[in-house]
Amino acid sequence: MFLVNQPRIQQYLEDDRTSARLSMYSSAGDEQLVCQRWLRQSAPKRFIHDMLYGDLFEGGRSFKVLDVGGGLTGLSSHLATRHDYELIDLLAHDPKDAAETMMRAAGRRFVTAADWASVPPAGHDLVVANDLFPNVDQRLELFLEAYLPRAKSIRLSLTYYDSPRFYMTRRIDGEEVLCMLAWNGAHLQRVLSKYQTHIVSPDLGCFAAPPESVYENGRQVCLLELHGQG
């Protein structure tokens, strides 16, 4: 468990493995995918991707993997050919046709275009949620309660802001305009403390002294892995 900082990114860039994988496994059409463009443009995102998924590109063993909200990239179809890999994503950034094209290329259906909470949880070796909780989806506790009993391991990147940040949003199932306040480190620490016995190398004190943000908008990102009971 640690917060992303510039020294870690600089060390990673000495061997930018995510960039190499994108070049190795992507097709020309993949470069139009929003999440692919973000990976190409952002060294912190490539570092985080390597931390969460990197070992899945190595070795010959196959795992049952669930990717929640990970988006579509040229690496998605490759993971689907190496592992029993499933992606649950609302596909907010790319058309469903892109997912259909990717699944045809992989030779199997592995994308479910849905809210993760609408899909009954099943057992997995590994569950990954990259850049989803709690900045996009504030249901972190519900997610952990659903998947800790069913997964052997859960890997998360958790984004928060220590300076107040909020968004005016509109409900898609109603006519209300809502204001969503992003979590801060203290909020995230309180929630994670409930699951401290599951966290690999827990360091909840890291939220008290965060490093200088590696992002222009000042956000902080915490990477952690939890042992599940599956």
- CATH (residue range 2-227): 3.40.50
pTM (global) more than 0.85: yes
Structure tokens at 59: 């070795």
What are the distances in angstroms from CA 136 to CA 90, 157, 160, 181, 188? Answer: 12, 12, 10, 11, 14
Residue extents of the structural domains in the chain = 2-227
Report the SS3 class of residue 224: strand
- Amino acid 6 reads Q
Q: Dump pLDDT digits (tens) for 148-197.
A: 999 999 999 999 999 999 999 999 999 999 999 999 999 999 999 999 99
Sheet holding 220-227, edge to edge: 2-3, 220-227, 151-160, 124-130, 64-68, 84-89, 111-113
Alpha-helix residue ranges (DSSP H) falling in the chain:
6-12, 17-25, 34-41, 43-53, 74-82, 96-106, 140-147, 185-193
Q: Dump pLDDT digits (tens) for 31-85.
A: 999 999 999 999 999 999 999 999 999 988 999 999 999 999 999 999 999 999 9
Angle at 77 between CA 72 and CA 80, to 5 degrees: 120
- The secondary structure of residue 148, as a DSSP letter, is T
- Specify whether the CB–CB gap between 164 and 181 falls below 8 A: yes
Contacts of 54 (CB under 8 A, 6+ apart): 17, 18
- Specify whether the CB–CB gap between 200 and 226 falls below 8 A: yes
- The secondary structure of residue 134, as a DSSP letter, is T
